[in-house]
Amino acid sequence: MTLSKLSVLLCAGTAVLSVGACNKAQEMSANAANKSETSETANSAAASKDPVASAESAAPAAIAHNASVVTVGANGAMTEVRKGTNGWTCIPDAPDTPGPDPMCFDANAGKWVDAWVHHKPPPAGAVGVMYMLEGGTDASNTDPYATKPTAENDWISTGPHIMIVGSKEILGGYPSGTKPDTAAPYVMWAGTPYAHLMVPVKQGS
């Protein structure tokens, strides 16, 4: 999960869960930046044309169709595009990341994000779920506050997946590290209070 995406989550959650914001700055190497420029422009255009469709693509229709949809402007201003009825919130793709990464999250996941942003322990007994059925990218699989990849830790690219957050117990036995095999379940940010399980799923699951 990118820091940029978390920042959007936090701003979006203000309307639902009172969650805050984090960094939107992500630097890549010149080659990576050039390579992603075209796709970022396309993603941004698609999201601006139909943010609801982009946001809904993150989760199964049974969840996304009745979720709140929110967008966040460059200045951090949050706009509720659609009021939901099921306690879930979905956000469209963030154009400042290397690939498409719309996301839907439940109320407990919003609490977890709030704890991450404010550098405080996530609430006990609040296991949450996030859907990213379009996949995502992350600057680091080990540092919750990384703003850019390093020579030793390239962007982590994931296909469609869900995230289980707020449970230490569920992490046992799963691998972690700087370059995980994203085709199998793995732990992101292991050894930190924000460790969570990344679970790949089939597109449209």
Q: What digits encode the pLDDT tens for the residues 162-184?
A: 999 999 999 999 999 999 999 99
Distances in Å between the Cα of 70 and the Cα atoms of 13, 124, 130, 190 are 9, 27, 15, 30
Amino acid 20: pLDDT: 30
Does the residue 31 lie in any domain?
yes
Does the residue 17 lie in any domain?
yes
What is the token pair recorded at 88? 């879930």
Does the residue 137 lie in any domain?
yes
End-to-end CA gap in the chain: 19
Confidence of residue 147 (pLDDT cuts 50, 70, 90): confident
CA 77 to chain centre: 18
Identify which of 25-34, 43-52, 173-182 has the greatest average pLDDT: 173-182
Range of the domain at 170: 3-200
Amino acid 2: pLDDT: 53
Task: Select the more confidently predicted residue: 79 or 128.
Answer: 128
Does the residue 85 lie in any domain?
yes
Amino acid 197: pLDDT: 98
CA distance linking residue 67 with residue 62, whole number of Å: 9
Q: What percent of the chain has pLDDT over 90?
A: 49
Number of domains in the chain: 1
Query: Contact 6/113 with Cβ under 8 angstroms?
Result: yes
Confidence of residue 31 (pLDDT cuts 50, 70, 90): very low
| Least confident span in 12-26, 74-88, 170-184 | 12-26
CA angle 151, 157, 162 (to 5 degrees): 135
What is the token pair recorded at 36? 């992603």
Amino acid 35: pLDDT: 35
Does the residue 205 lie in any domain?
no
Task: DSSP letter for 186, please.
Answer: E
For residue 183, the one-letter residue type is A
Task: Select the more confidently predicted residue: 141 or 23.
Answer: 141
Does the residue 188 lie in any domain?
yes
Provide the H-helix boundaries in 51-128: 51-56, 61-64, 107-117
CA distance linking residue 32 with residue 156, whole number of Å: 13
**Interval 65-80: pLDDT, tens:** 999 998 877 665 678 9
Does the residue 68 lie in any domain?
yes
Does the residue 11 lie in any domain?
yes
CA distance linking residue 89 with residue 55, whole number of Å: 9
Distances in Å between the Cα of 173 and the Cα atoms of 8, 130, 166, 184, 197 are 31, 21, 17, 12, 11
Q: Which of 99, 104, 111, 170 minimizes the C-alpha distance to 137?
A: 99
DSSP class per residue in 120-168 = -PPPTT--EEEEETT-EEES-SS-TT--S-BTTBPPEEE-SEEEEES-S
